[in-house]
Amino acid sequence: MPFTTYSTHPYKDQRPGTSGLRKRVEVFRQGNYLKNFVQSVLDSQHDLIGGTLVLGGDGRFFNRDAIQVILKMASANGVGKVIVGQGGLLSTPAASCVIRKYGAAGGLVLSASHNPGGPDGDFGIKFNTANGGPAPERVTEDIFARSLEISNFRVSNGGEVDIDTLGSVDFDKLKIDVIDPVADYAELMQSIFDFDAIRDLLSSGFRMRFDAMHAITGPYAHYLFETLLGAPAGTVINGEPLEDFGGHHPDPNLVHAADLVALTRGAGGVDFAAASDGDGDRNMILGRDFFVTPSDSLAVLAANATLIPAHHGGIPGVARSMPTSQAVDRVAQALGIECFETPTGWKFFGNLLDAGRIAFCGEESFGTGSSHVREKDGLWAVLAWLNVLAARGQSVADIVTQHWQQYGRNYYSRHDYEGVKAKKANALIESLRAKLPGLPGSILEGVEVAYADDFSYTDPIDGSVSSGQGIRIGFVDGSRVVFRLSGTGTVGATLRVYLEAYEPDPSRQQIETQAALARLINAAESVADIRATIGRDTPSVIT
Ligand code: VG1
Ligand code: CO
């Protein structure tokens, strides 16, 4: 089948952020924007030529169009085989699973995660490497470098490919396998967790709801919870994927999943509720009248890891992103296992997972996962909680409260200031950087600063260094304030302020979170002058 080579010119704004390239849909539709990025991947990732590429996305608006373009470019560029999810669908963790299972050279995952979708929403694309994980910085830098010098791209002249019928088709020399997006992933989940115990729990009168937020996890959740685990129909809500997520932010947090939170309230509240995001890699865990912070969730799962069949022998180590609370550090210390602090973004866990140094890892931003894939995994976290609940026979609240009594409680909150002018946000970080040397030993809101730095990470496996990853100010009482700018936003800049206070005394572990963090909120304002510098009195989102 013939293909055509078109000339193009580089786009300057194709540097991937925290999690791939994320832009407004209209940007992706402009000129050759998508094709330039895809050609830059195909030009720089040589194993794809003649090799296997996994392709799928969260089904948001533009997903189908992008899949057709990528299939035609894969064909014209000599990719050997593309494995594509039926209908163009694959959750991010399922894409990671499929890349690993079939030994693919890499994958293209189409999503803007928890960002809104639709013609006026966001779209995104990222390249995952052969280990199933988001490309590390050296790879994304190669792709970016290529995008600056690209002068042409190749597209097959063939017609539209049928991606809705399961099976193999030949598209000229390219073989296309359309697979069930759920099957491989569901099989992997069954190899990890105690499905019999969870099935017993779900048939014992235990009430659960899973909110798929009209995003990708709907079909996965229906099959796992209702078909395999026997939960009653209606357990999964908002389970039909929609191109615009029903007009909502498919973002599982207390603000955007407020309807789900309401189902857990009061005497009639369900025992367990959970939600996932647009592409299925995030999770929120709720008990009756109880919210589990993602940082606590990681710590509790690490402490209970041996209850999960795949980890019955224990876990070698854990990792958390820098702004994530230090709750898991205390568990690692008690277990005598390694604990790593990495920059924000799942790609930084990849080497540690590949090397077998860690089995569980997580981020404060509703991300939890394990060595089973190389992405964070929302449904894995939900199943892990169900497995622990089934094994312990206690409520979510009792498990977490007992955890705090044993290890101490890390009160935690993130304050986001969205849509700030980039110049002002950068000025705030710059001025904090300048203050860092003078902070240690000084007193902020009555407590002495133990250390203050701009976080830099040296990967213990390959020695690569990532600097400028966020401002950390630690106090002698174990509390912390962290400042960093988002790398996933598509409008202006977002300043994130992360607050954490450690409370070992069980009699002081039931304070309302913002009240418990009041001193740190004041300390953050006094050291960073947030109001004056960015002109905002209050955060736009508090989680
Ligand atoms: C945010 C989160 C980060 C997460 C990233 C991708 O990044 O803070 O922890 O890894 O989103 O998540 P940032 O740079 O905006 O803070 V996902 O679910 O979007 O792929
Ligand atoms: Co996501």
- In the DSSP assignment, the letter for residue 427 is H
Provide the percentage of residues in the chain whose pLDDT is more than 90.
Answer: 94
What is the CATH number assigned to the segment(s) 409-542?
A: 3.30.310.50
Length of the chain counted residue by residue: 543
What are the pocket residues of ligand 1 if the criterion is a CB atom closer than 6 Å to any ligand atom?
18-19, 113-114, 277, 281-282, 321, 344-346, 363, 365, 367, 486-488, 496
pLDDT at 2: 82
* CATH topology identical between 3-181 and 185-407: yes
Considering Cα of 533, then 535, then 536, then 540, what sign does the dihedral take? negative
Protein residue with its CA nearest to atom 19 in ligand 1: 113
Q: Calculate how far, in angstroms, residue 506's C-alpha sits from the geometric centre of ligand 1.
A: 32
What confidence score (pLDDT) does residue 487 get? 86
> What pLDDT, on the 0 to 100 scale, is given for residue 391?
98
Ligand nearest to the CA of 493: 1
Confidence of residue 19 (pLDDT cuts 50, 70, 90): confident
Report the interhelical angle of 378-392 vs 294-303 (nearest 10°): 50
Give the number of other CB atoms < 10 A from CB of residue 373: 26
**Domain parsing of the chain, residue ranges:** 3-181, 185-407, 409-542
Give per-residue pLDDT as tens, 312-342: 999 999 999 999 999 999 999 999 999 999 9
- Under DSSP, is residue 249 helix (H, G, I), strand (E, B) or coil? coil
Atom of ligand 1 lying closest to residue 20 CA = 20
Mean pLDDT across 496-513: 97
Q: Rounded mean pLDDT of the chain?
A: 96
pLDDT for residue 249 is more than 70: yes
Distance CA(33)–CA(41), nearest Å, equals: 13
State which ligand 1 atom lies nearest to the alpha carbon of 321.
9
Is residue 489 scored above 80 in pLDDT? Answer: no
Q: Please report the sign of the dihedral spanned by the C-alpha atoms of residue 160, residue 163, residue 165, residue 168.
A: positive
Question: How close are the terminal C-alpha atoms of the chain, in Å?
Answer: 53
Q: Beta strands 541-542 and 409-420: pairing type?
A: antiparallel
Q: How far apart are CA 95 and CA 299, in angstroms?
A: 26
The H-or-E segment that residue 147 falls in is: helix 137-149
Residue with tokens 């017993």: 200
The number of the ligand 1 atom at minimal distance from the alpha carbon of 281 is 18
Closest C-alpha among 148, 161, 156, 147 to residue 39: 147
Predicted pLDDT at 20? 87
Dihedrals φ, ψ of 485, to 5°? -100, 140
Q: What is the CATH number of domain 3-181?
A: 3.40.120.10
390 with 198: CB under 8 angstroms? Answer: yes
Which residue has the CA at smallest separation from atom 16 of ligand 1? 486
- Give the CA distances from residue 305 to residues 190, 330, 384, 394, 433, in Å, rounded to whole numbers and listed in that order: 16, 15, 9, 16, 39
CA of 253 to the centre of ligand 1 (A): 13
Token pair of 285 as six digits:
């865990």
Catalytic: which of 40, 96, 111, 113?
Answer: 113
Give the pLDDT score at 1. Answer: 63
Q: Ligand 1 pocket test: which of 19, 251, 256 has the largest number of ligand atoms within 8 Å of its C-beta?
A: 19
**Phi, then psi, of 327 in degrees rounded to 5:** -55, -40
Kindly report, residue by residue over 429-483, the tens digit of the pLDDT: 999 999 999 999 999 999 999 999 999 999 999 999 999 999 999 999 999 999 9
392-397 own/partner pairs: CB under 8 Å, 24+ apart: 392/304, 392/307, 395/271, 395/287, 395/288, 395/290, 396/271, 396/272, 396/285, 396/286, 396/287, 396/288, 396/290, 396/292, 397/287, 397/288, 397/289, 397/290
Please, what is the Cα angle at 6 between 3 and 11, to 5 degrees? 135
Mean pLDDT of 369-373: 98
| CA of residue 164 to ligand 1 center, whole Å | 31
- Which ligand has an atom closest to residue 21 CA? 1
Atom of ligand 1 nearest to the CA of 364: 9
| Ligand 1 centroid from CA 18, angstroms | 6
Say whether 44 is catalytic: no
Residues 185-407, CATH architecture: 3-Layer(aba) Sandwich (3.40)
pLDDT higher than 80, residue 248:
yes
Report the nearest-CA residue for atom 1 of ligand 1: 488
